């Protein structure tokens, strides 16, 4: 899908295609549609990033809270979004031993209790080992630093999702 195709999309189609580049936050793509035409994919990504950066801290936390736990209940019950399911599977999170699964579950719960939002990391650019290590290390961060780190990861996830959508030919959600 080239950028002229992206720029020609109605807002309904644009949200259909890009609505989940930020997990369960279609309002982000609905908002940046107003900023067309985009010169290229990087400009669309920059518009998304600026929209997120302009949110108040509660809005950023809201975005984090829309993310499912890694290797959590939604993975077990098959209710993840397609994107999230593929990302978690690629990182091997759908094939944890029961000891690993209970360790992740304990760490996820402790993280959420401490920060009030879930641990978010770009699963496509990490493997099971680094995810577990990061979950342990980042749990020790201060809340503001961790919120900022989570938002950086949201942007990494968005980058990967945009790449696979735009490189897909033809647009696969129209």
Nearest approach in angstroms of CB 87 to ligand 3AL is 4
Query: 13 vs 152, which CB is nearer to ligand 3AL?
Result: 152
Q: Which of residues 111-170 bind ligand 3AL (CB under 6 A)?
A: 118-124, 157
Residue matched to tokens 């809340």: 143
Query: 52 vs 157, which CB is nearer to ligand 3AL?
Result: 157
159 part of the active site? no
Local structure of residue 156 (DSSP, 8 states): H
Q: How far is CA 9 from CA 3, 61, 124, in A?
A: 10, 30, 28
Helix (H, G, I), strand (E, B) or coil at 96: coil
Q: Which are the contacts of 120, defined by CB distance < 8 A and separation ≥ 6?
A: 64, 67, 150, 153, 154, 157
Query: 9 vs 69, which CB is nearer to ligand 3AL?
Result: 69
Q: Which of residues 56-115 bind ligand 3AL (CB under 6 A)?
A: 67-70, 84, 87
Q: Which of 67, 124, 147, 161 is catalytic?
A: 67
How many Å separate Cα 98 from the centre of its chain? Answer: 26
Binding site for ligand 3AL (CB under 6 A): 23, 67-70, 84, 87, 118-124, 157
């Amino acid at each position: 899908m080239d950028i002229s195709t992206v720029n020609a999309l109605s807002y309904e189609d644009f949200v259909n295609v890009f609505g989940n580049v930020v997990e369960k936050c279609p309002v982000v793509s609905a908002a940046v549609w107003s900023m067309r035409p985009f010169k290229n994919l990087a400009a669309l990504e920059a518009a998304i990033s600026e929209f997120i950066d302009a949110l108040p801290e509660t809005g950023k936390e809201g975005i984090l809270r829309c993310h499912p736990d890694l290797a959590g209940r939604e993975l077990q019950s098959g209710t993840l979004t397609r994107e999230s399911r593929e990302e978690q599977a690629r990182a091997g999170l759908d094939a944890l031993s029961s000891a690993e699964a209970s360790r992740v579950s304990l760490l996820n719960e402790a993280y959420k209790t401490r920060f009030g939002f879930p641990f978010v990391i770009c699963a496509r650019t990490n493997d099971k080992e680094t995810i577990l290590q990061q979950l342990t290390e980042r749990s020790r961060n201060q809340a503001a630093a961790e919120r900022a780190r989570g938002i950086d990861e949201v942007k990494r996830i968005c980058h990967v999702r945009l790449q696979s959508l735009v490189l897909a030919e033809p647009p696969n959600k129209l």
